[in-house]
Amino acid sequence: MLCFINLPAIVLEHMHRAKDRSQVAYLLEQQASLKRELTEFTAFLNDKEVEIVQLKSKLQKAVLKGPGASGVDEQVVQELRVEKEQLLKENASLSEEVKALNKQVIQAHEAANKRMSLLMRTVNFLPPLS
């Protein structure tokens, strides 16, 4: 029996298998790379979720505390409170001064009215000029 070896067919089949193996190897490398990227991305997302939870917690605390939750705001609020107290004292002092001035104006007006009344009575008793 004669056996013919079809060398070109064997070479082509070997090349085809080698090509298939290289494609499979390439796909496996891509799959491994994608798995690494997915792992990295998942870790990144987990970190961001932790940040979000922390920010939500800070926001809830700030909302519960209301205005002046931060140190800077608290300092500004304290400065404004001190200024408000000073202005209230100044306002009270000015109010007292206004009351005193009003009293002086009323007294001066009353004194002027008395003098005017006295002058009018005096003028009425004088004989007409002619």
Same domain, 84 and 118: yes
Residue 2 located in a structural domain? no
Backbone angles phi and psi of 70, in degrees to 5: -90, 165
**Gap between the Cα atoms of 108 and 111, Å rounded:** 5
Residue 101 located in a structural domain? yes
Amino acid of residue 91: N
pLDDT in tens, 82-97: 888 888 888 888 888 8
| pLDDT value of position 127 | 61
Could you tell me the residue range of the domain that residue 115 belongs to?
70-124
Same domain, 56 and 78: no
pLDDT band, very low/low/confident/very high, at 40 (cuts 50, 70, 90): confident
Residue 1 located in a structural domain? no
Number of domains composing the chain: 2
Mean pLDDT of 83-112: 84
Two tokens, residue 51: 């940040």
In terms of pTM, does the model score above 0.95? Answer: no
Same domain, 14 and 61: yes
User: What's the per-residue H, E or C state across the chain?
Assistant: CCCCCCHHHHHHHHHHHHHHHHHHHHHHHHHHHHHHHHHHHHHHHHHHHHHHHHHHHHHHHHHHHCCCCCHHHHHHHHHHHHHHHHHHHHHHHHHHHHHHHHHHHHHHHHHHHHHHHHHHHHHHHCCCCC
Residue 129 located in a structural domain? no
Same domain, 74 and 97: yes
Same domain, 54 and 99: no
